[in-house]
Amino acid sequence: MTRRPVVKINLDATGEPRRRPDDLAAEEPLEIRVRKEPLAVTMRTPGQDIDLAMGFLLSEGVIRSAADVVTAQLCAGTDTPNTYNVVDIVLGADVPPPVTDPSRNFYTTSSCGVCGKASIDAVRTKSPFDVSADPLTVPAATLAALPDRLRAAQRTFDRTGGLHAAGLFTADGELVVLREDVGRHNAVDKVIGWALREGRLPLKGHLLLVSGRASFELTQKAWMAGLPMLAAVSAPSTLAAELADEAGMTLVGFLRGQSMNVYTSPQRVTV
């Protein structure tokens, strides 16, 4: 976070506008390099950058396990003063290098995720995990309680109001890990990268809750991590629902209060 002076104007209150400090969520570029070659740039909130990079590589199908990575280190980059906004990944000798061509442009932003890919087929990375066979079931009442648990754990959001969150939960509603970021996809990558380094993949018997909408890309990332359920407090997209249906993943949207919409594989949500 950083602090900036602002002029506070409140039309519902009496008195003149006043100056006050305000906390802003940090947003800086992170360059991900593989074998010292640039692969991707994402606008993210600094923190857990190694997890972000490894989660990104896994969800893009560049790596399949933590064993594919020899070293992952935060580098100084070329900025003055050094901002350490570069992560350099060295892959094992038997791991094929990532494909980089004009149809697979990995430039990303904090708002939309991976952009510039030529077609949906180019981003439909196949997961090595069969989530359709996962026997996970979650009571609807447990699901309904998760957004409040996620929100209660968002420490930085309380200060800035400007971060997305992704939380990994067990079937009984226990929060395993939470990550915040200005980018929805970055928050998810940080969770997946953490699970990858901890040797927890595939994430059988777990569900992922995101604080915004459920996009195609977030659904793909969940599938690549072996998650049988993705829940969102907002709406899913058509492609997210199609991909979840293809994967055999349960997709829950509009998880608010005591209601929710279950778009695919509803047998995992019990009433």
Q: Tell me: the pLDDT tens digits for 125-147?
A: 789 999 999 999 999 999 999 99
Q: Which of 67, 76, 99, 112 is catalytic?
A: 112
Q: Do 146 and 260 have their domain in common?
A: yes
Q: Which of 35, 54, 1 is nearest to 189 (CA)?
A: 54
Task: Give the 3-state secondary structure of residue 73.
Answer: strand
Domain for residue 122, yes or no?
no
Beta bridge partners of 23: 3
Q: Do 146 and 214 have their domain in common?
A: yes
Domain for residue 55, yes or no?
yes
Q: Do 148 and 64 have their domain in common?
A: no
Number of domains in the chain: 2
Q: Do 86 and 144 have their domain in common?
A: no
Full domain range(s) for residue 210: 140-268
Task: Give the 3-state secondary structure of residue 10.
Answer: coil
Q: What is the pLDDT of residues 226-265, one digit of tens each?
A: 999 999 999 999 999 999 999 999 999 999 999 999 999 9
Q: Which of 116, 132, 165 is the last residue of a domain?
A: 116
Q: Do 80 and 154 have their domain in common?
A: no
Instruction: Give CA–CA dist 244/262, Å, rounded.
Output: 11
Q: Which of 88, 77, 95, 113 is nearest to 35 (CA)?
A: 88
List C-alpha distances in Å: 63 to 34, 72, 118, 129. 11, 13, 22, 14
Is residue 115 annotated as part of the catalytic site, yes or no? no
Q: Can you give the pLDDT at residue 103? A: 47
Q: Do 74 and 157 have their domain in common?
A: no
